[in-house]
Chain A
């Protein structure tokens, strides 16, 4: 005998959406909250456990207004850790879908597309892990022009599209091409040995970030990016051109990317760049891509020290 699902409460609505079924299995152990890095790094009110609880207790408005609903980037680190095997990101996605249907909008500022520059090539559509950009035809004085537009409720601001756009038509505050170029030292006096592009999520501990900051400016210069998917090979090449000896890109371990697959995009790009560099064989120059896991506390020190010694050894040998 089949039991028809009676939708009476908000919890029922959430459970009725594929992915939301296991909502009520949560016994509030808090594993998801501490596995996720958003609360520690960005938003103190972010708490998936509490969002599930809000949904369970039918507190609809509060659930829709909670930052958790809008900030979860579906990295699924919590799903792997959840002892009740609840696919938490899907439950959150179900709540988000209901919120969008109810007319709520994301408090996050999405990336913006400069329509004068956009050629409608569709690369952003391909690289986006969240299916936020889409192509549409705009009527310009009788002529149809194919352009990209970004769904504000889907964009998680990882910047993968910013790094991928061949015309620089997509921008996000803080990480547009000019912002990053400004961070790369160009004056001959202040050129460091290494430039590290560090994704905001790969270094879990404050201690690790402090390690980076402790290096003197003539040795290591740090450029913060939201995700290694934002890496533009141009920046690496510009840095090498200006006299930097090595470029270290630091991202998350495969499977642990905060933005689903930004690190995969980066490894594709950097793999190609590496092949290219090998053909040119520029003297004393190196690009490295390291992927640091959640438990690898202190590994960044080894990586940077290793690269510094490699570069100095290289120099002396030559």
Chain B
């Protein structure tokens, strides 16, 4: 940290909050609130004379309230930059610190918060994690029994710079404990509190146990665990070493801790699973390894940064396997436990990856994006035609790339757009189109496919990332499926406009497959959810129209499910085979007027030759707009 602060090109802003993040990759405008320290940063030399004379003592948050601090303080002795601050909530305005500071005149009680705006190219979020409060688990008695402490508190007691100078003592009588127990999974892997595993606590408790055993080999240490998870290199060997050192491991989650009221010794009631027998052991001190939870203000940060959260509240990465350091928003990256609980090696690896990703942005003059982006046709937007934008596009966008300011038509920040096409399909007035997948292009494909004997054809809409891959796999694996299938690629199931489906039936298609990724696998975060909602709506409409079941089918098929793709299509072919040609023809002509009625957008969409002109004109218009900008 000291090294980083000495780098001329690294600017450390301590005691500063991010208030607002606007803009996009390479061009973020970040509003920062530099909180008032009441000490002038350029004058304070960190001598600490103000703290020495300060008469006020308040609990020290950094020491987990095990020690006091003064109202003039630094959060911890290794703080960087080493600048004191005055806690005005506790200060009694005796001004002794001003006297003590003397000729430096670093203390300024009139200082106020400063709001600054900075141009930022890329953002790396490294806000870390917080701890589950075990007070709510009454069975462990934390907060009631003085000798039940958390492992973080033990870290402070065991730290040579901590409140006891590294002397581990029992809070009840200040004696050194001889029998120590660690309890793992306090709050984690527990559906009542935190369902997830906190990843690092197994190794963390073994580390602490080894540390204590090394300091005093006569200490008797037991670790209560449900499963010991040692998945990384060298971890299992470390676990072996701990057992060789004589640390006891008991498999069994303690159900109860009781306390002897005179000695304040503690009793752990648990089952020894290996023996299948209930045991009750006495200890001098118990450390709870609490679950890791997101920071208390993670929700707030998530809305400031416009970054989604995974279940559990952690920041959501772009892709859990391939891009774990990227946020879904270009130019924002994650390092460490803010994205999910992880140990130090993984945090360092992710941090380095995030830094290199960020520097790639800072070093490039231009930022290339996929050409498949959405474009607004402002004169068609309801903002222009009816005076007020409907906002459906904003709701549909998983990236916050669509912006509506006041009564102005919707606008798309091209740098943020990833090209799922959700807004395009949602727009009721056809005011948004997607380059390379314009309505005209897709309709032209459909019309070509359904030109001849449409009632025999099965039109399959496949999303680019999953179902198209599934169809590919079905082909390369030589799975046999009906030859009447005609596949159409769009980027995401969110792009599968209801008008395409109506048009397919209007043209007399035999059956239509609506396929995309599984809900959790969507390439565009929530694109599949938008598509699935629309599919549900369509299904209800077609049910009301009394369409034969199976002629419209919704399936989520991953790229690995070639067999499923083949099976689904064969089943659809079966549905068509079960109907006589007359029956099918009757149904198609019965539903045709209904479909025509529902196609409210189609008159606005040009046919094939027109579409070419339309696309060209559109591209030209965009290029022009960019030049002028």
| A interface residues with partner B (beta carbon < 8 Å) | 27-35, 39-40, 44, 47, 49-50, 81, 83-85, 204-205, 207, 294-295, 297-298
Contact = CB atoms under 8 A, between A and B. Distances in A.
B258 A83 contact: no
A34 B226 CA distance: 14
Contacts of A49: 271, 273
Name the residue in A49, A295, A297, A298 with the highest tally of chain B Cβ atoms < 10 Å from its Cβ. Answer: A295
B191 A295 contact: no
Interface in B121-149: 138-139, 141
A34 B138 CA distance: 16
B96 to A, nearest CB: 47
Nearest to A50: B276
A34 B253 CA distance: 9
A38 to B, nearest CB: 10
B11 interface: no
Contacts of B500: none
Given A39-B277, A44-B277, A205 B258 contact: yes
Given A50-B276, A83-B191, A295-B141, A34 B260 contact: no
Contacts of A294: 256, 258
Contacts of A33: 255, 271, 276, 278
B261 A31 contact: no
B273 A28 contact: yes
Interface in B53-107: none
B261 A81 contact: no
A229 B465 CA distance: 66
8 contacts: A30-B251, A30-B272, A34-B278, A83-B192, A84-B191, A85-B191, A204-B258, A295-B256
Contact of B253 (A83, A85, A205, A298): A83
A294 B138 CA distance: 11
A36 to B, nearest CB: 8
A307 to B, nearest CB: 18
B297 to A, nearest CB: 27
A30 B253 contact: yes
A39 B278 contact: yes
Given A30-B253, A31-B253, 11 more contacts: A30-B255, A30-B272, A31-B255, A49-B271, A84-B191, A294-B256, A295-B138, A295-B257, A297-B258, A298-B260, A298-B261
Given A33-B271, A34-B252, A83 B278 contact: no
B189 interface: yes
Nearest to A40: B278
B438 interface: no
B190 A83 contact: yes
Describe A's contact surface by its main secondary structure: loop
A296 B251 CA distance: 26
Contacts of B270: 30-31, 34
B135 to A, nearest CB: 14
Contacts of B317: none
Nearest to A205: B258
Nearest to A38: B278
Contact of A34 (B141, B189, B259, B271): B271
Contacts of A295: 138-139, 141, 256-259
B238 interface: no
B269 interface: yes
B191 A30 contact: no
A30 B258 contact: no
A34 B191 contact: no
Nearest to A32: B255
Contacts of A298: 260-262
Contacts of A35: 255-256, 269
Contacts of A205: 258, 267, 280
A44 B252 CA distance: 17
Nearest to B139: A81
Q: Which of B138, B141, B271, B272 has the most CB of A within 10 A?
A: B271
Contacts of B273: 28-30, 49
Nearest to B187: A83
Interface in B237-269: 251-262, 267, 269
Interface string B155-193: 000000000000000000000000000000100011110
A81 B255 contact: yes
Interface string B191-202: 110000000000
